[in-house]
Amino acid sequence: MRRAAKIATIVHQTWALSRTDGLAGISMRDLAERVDLRQPSLYAALLQVAGVSRAEDVDLFTAICAGLTRQQVANDPGGDRWVAQARRVVGMFLAEVRRQPSE
């Protein structure tokens, strides 16, 4: 239960930061501070919860997030065209990661 509460807090604070600072303004440092974790602990918690453990999956996720961020900033600053796609894209990524055999 404690883990589920921490995850819910992380998700809530992430969306809160995106609304106040914009997608491109979110930093892991700010998020870690809001959820009372150190940055490395936040990274580890997010990856573990999502079932992402392979380095190449982490790299792919980073590229996906960077791409969405670039598209949002370049093509719809102040809007939500690309932010609105985040849940769908992350869902597709996680479905693919979970489909892959474990090492």
Residue spans of the domains in the chain: they are 1-50, 53-103
pLDDT, tens digit (0-9, with 9 covering 90-100), for 57-89: 878 888 888 898 889 889 998 888 988 998 899
With a CB cutoff of 8 Å and minimum separation 6, the contacts of 98 are: 51
> What angle separates helix 55-75 from helix 86-99, to the nearest 10 degrees?
160
> What angle separates helix 2-21 from helix 39-50, to the nearest 10 degrees?
110
pLDDT, tens digit (0-9, with 9 covering 90-100), for 26-52: 888 899 999 999 887 887 777 777 778
Selection from 3, 28, 5, 18 nearest residue 85 by Cα: 18
For the domain 1-50, what is the CATH code? Answer: 1.10.10
Between 33 and 54, residue with greater pLDDT: 33
pTM for this model (two decimals):
0.57
